[in-house]
């Protein structure tokens, strides 16, 4: 896959300008016009970074983020959106009677966290990116830790509450009876699970590059947050595996997929990330010297032996070394605790965001509901053009490995709405049944696309 034609979102010179234009906003700005314009810029940068990484091409987005010194800004933006979701979005959801005509602007604010997380995940693969993040990497470590704890909490939930959407008919029926805000809450939960998955990958890349990072990062991962034990819990109770009605499902490439017994033994990308992180944290000599191993930690880590089966070792041969290390560890007594004074650097970004806005969450929510998240029809028409430009359907389809789903019944779809080119259906009957629900959004998108074509015709004539 080359970088020509439809697969190109940004040319290198455009990308450099986009990266240079990135600036720091406040929580009050989220959802506003300037913030929305920057979200669209970040989405384009994210799509281009994914295209370049997938095609193994020159990853110029990563280079510009380093040369323009924007990685700390990205991490700040990620944490700010996380705080907004925790503090402001919950206030909006608790506001009785708030039912905007469309929840798309709110969804974009929620989706922004996924956009930034994905851009960081794509670029953190490189050591120079981790190093360029400087002290902000500590805040990113804490962010990943919070997402890991959310995954562990999810794995302990009952099967009914996992929101796997395995039954498409039941899911569509529930959507039809749900209010806009109730459906938004479900989308937020699904989106957050995907973000947590990205956090596992980000953490793995940070762990891979520990030797080039401040010593505080290693201390925080090993002893402050005890990430090795968290990863053991994810191996024991993986939230990306599920069993329902006697069938096995795995979360693969962004969707729940039914797998047979043979395929259930195959390691998915996210499972591989967990095992590689564990290997690095337990087998690195620097980590072994730093990790304060006590009896509880030792006994928990030894639980990994039960999962180091022959199929596992065939797929990740290096785990054989860890298997031998664990056998040796089982016969060792943990060393006595160290009584040394440790001066540890602490993350500051999230705390600063919380302190600056303490006691203002309700006020911010009220202002954003009034100004940003209940747009008029004319505002929506203006936004629709920008959305159509940003979310270029041909490019997005090229990035997606899954076939589109029917908006009415949830089955695989092959027909697209001819007016707006946005909604998909498996057959005409489903399109007719969904028309009343789809009409408003279709009219907006169709009008904006029509204006774009008219402008293009004028400029070419």
Q: Residue 453 has what pLDDT?
A: 55
Pull the structure tokens for residue 283. Answer: 């087998």
Residue at 438 is within a domain: no
Please, what is the average pLDDT of the chain? 84
Which range, 42-56, 62-76, 325-339, 369-383, has the best average confidence (pLDDT)?
A: 62-76
In the predicted structure, residue 396 carries a pLDDT above the cut 70: no
> Are 68 and 119 members of one domain?
yes
> Are 73 and 174 members of one domain?
no
Last residue of a domain, one of 375, 390, 414: 375
Q: Which of 241-255, 369-383, 389-403, 440-454 has the lowest mean pLDDT?
A: 389-403
Residue at 195 is within a domain: yes
Partner residues linked to 425 by β-bridges:
415
Residue at 22 is within a domain: yes
Q: Count of domains in the chain?
A: 2
> Are 117 and 247 members of one domain?
no
Residue at 19 is within a domain: yes
* 60-73 tens-digit pLDDT: 999 999 999 999 99
At 142, is the pLDDT very low, low, confident or very high (cuts 50, 70, 90)? very high
Q: Tell me the mean pLDDT in the region 232-249.
A: 90
DSSP track, 27-84? GGGTTSHHHHHHHHHHHHHHHHHHHHHHTT---HHHHHHHHTT-HHHHHHHHHHHHHH
Could you tell me which of 440, 410, 414, 442 has the C-alpha nearest to residue 427?
414
> Are 107 and 235 members of one domain?
no
Burial call 85-117: b when 16+ CB within 10 Å, e when fewer: bebbbebbeeeeebebebbbbbbbbbbbbbbbb
Q: Which of 166-180, 366-380, 441-455 has the lowest mean pLDDT?
A: 166-180
Pull the structure tokens for residue 327. Answer: 């056998």
Residue at 360 is within a domain: yes
- Rounded Cα–Cα distance for residues 108 and 39 (Å): 8
Q: What is the percentage of the chain residues whose pLDDT exceeds 70?
A: 81
Last residue of a domain, one of 358, 375, 392: 375
Q: Residue 104 has what pLDDT?
A: 84
> Are 278 and 338 members of one domain?
yes
Q: Indicate the pairing of strand 241-244 with strand 247-252.
A: antiparallel
Last residue of a domain, one of 301, 329, 347: 347
Q: Tell me the mean pLDDT in the region 302-325.
A: 95
Q: Residue 60 has what pLDDT?
A: 93
> Are 206 and 243 members of one domain?
yes
* 89-122 tens-digit pLDDT: 999 999 988 888 888 889 999 999 999 999 999 9
> Are 290 and 264 members of one domain?
yes
Residue at token pair 């937020």:
188
> Are 154 and 94 members of one domain?
no
> Are 52 and 143 members of one domain?
no
Residue at token pair 């590059």:
209
> Are 130 and 236 members of one domain?
no
Residue at 422 is within a domain: no
Pull the structure tokens for residue 318. Answer: 């290096």
At 341, is the pLDDT very low, low, confident or very high (cuts 50, 70, 90)? low
In the predicted structure, residue 357 carries a pLDDT above the cut 90: yes
Determine the 3-state secondary structure of 20 from DSSP. helix
> Are 108 and 130 members of one domain?
yes
Residue at 203 is within a domain: yes
Pull the structure tokens for residue 385. Answer: 């053009």
Other CB atoms within 10 Å distance of the CB of residue 79: 24
Residue at 342 is within a domain: yes
- Rounded Cα–Cα distance for residues 311 and 53 (Å): 29
Quick check: 120 and 393 in contact, CB under 8 A? Answer: no
Which range, 19-23, 181-185, 263-267, has the best average confidence (pLDDT)?
A: 19-23
Q: What is the percentage of the chain residues whose pLDDT exceeds 90?
A: 53
Pull the structure tokens for residue 222. Answer: 């090993």
> Are 289 and 333 members of one domain?
yes
Longest Cα–Cα distance in the chain: 82
Could you tell me which of 137, 298, 126, 297 has the C-alpha nearest to residue 220?
137
Pull the structure tokens for residue 86. Answer: 């925790």
Q: Residue 5 has what pLDDT?
A: 39
Domain span at 12: 1-135+348-375
């Amino acid at each position: 896959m080359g970088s020509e034609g439809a697969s190109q979102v940004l040319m290198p010179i455009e990308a450099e300008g986009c990266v240079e234009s990135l600036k720091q906003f406040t929580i009050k700005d989220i959802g506003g016009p300037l913030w929305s314009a920057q979200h669209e810029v970040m989405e384009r940068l994210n799509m281009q970074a994914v295209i370049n990484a997938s095609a193994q091409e020159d990853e110029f987005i990563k280079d510009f983020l380093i040369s323009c010194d924007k990685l700390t800004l990205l991490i700040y933006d990620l944490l700010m959106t996380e705080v907004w979701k925790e503090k402001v979005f919950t206030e909006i959801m608790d506001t009785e009677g708030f039912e905007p005509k469309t929840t798309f602007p709110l969804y974009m604010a929620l989706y922004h966290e996924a956009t930034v997380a994905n851009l960081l995940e794509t670029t953190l693969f490189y050591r120079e990116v981790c190093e360029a993040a400087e002290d902000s990497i500590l805040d990113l470590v804490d962010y990943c830790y919070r997402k890991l704890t959310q995954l562990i909490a999810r794995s302990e939930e009952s099967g009914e509450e996992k929101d796997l959407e395995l039954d498409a008919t039941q899911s569509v029926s529930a959507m039809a009876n749900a209010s806009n805000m109730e459906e938004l809450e479900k989308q937020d939960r699904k989106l957050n699970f995907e973000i947590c998955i990205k956090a596992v990958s980000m953490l793995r890349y940070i762990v891979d590059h520990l030797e080039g990072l401040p010593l505080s990062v290693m201390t925080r991962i090993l002893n402050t947050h005890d990430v090795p034990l968290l990863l053991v819990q994810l191996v024991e109770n993986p939230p990306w595996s599920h069993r329902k009605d006697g069938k096995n499902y795995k979360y693969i490439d962004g969707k729940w997929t039914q797998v047979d017994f043979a395929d259930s033994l195959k390691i998915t990308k996210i499972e591989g990330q967990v095992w590689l992180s564990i290997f690095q944290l337990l087998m690195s000599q620097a980590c072994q010297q730093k990790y304060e191993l006590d009896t509880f930690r030792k006994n928990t880590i030894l639980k990994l032996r039960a999962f180091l089966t022959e199929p596992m070792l065939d797929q990740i041969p290096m785990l054989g070394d860890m298997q031998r290390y664990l056998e040796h560890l089982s016969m060792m007594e943990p060393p006595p605790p160290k009584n040394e004074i440790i001066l540890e650097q602490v993350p500051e970004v999230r705390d600063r965001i919380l302190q600056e806005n303490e006691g203002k969450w309700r006020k911010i929510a009220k202002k954003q509901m009034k100004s940003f998240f209940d747009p008029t029809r004319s505002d929506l028409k203006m936004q629709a053009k920008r959305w159509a430009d940003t979310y270029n359907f041909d490019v997005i389809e090229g990035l997606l490995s899954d076939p589109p789903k029917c908006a009415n019944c949830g089955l695989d779809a092959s027909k697209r709405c001819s007016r707006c080119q946005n909604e998909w259906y498996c057959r005409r009957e489903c399109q007719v049944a969904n028309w009343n629900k789809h009409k408003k959004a279709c009219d907006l998108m169709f009008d904006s696309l029509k204006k774009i074509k008219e402008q293009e015709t004028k400029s070419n004539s």
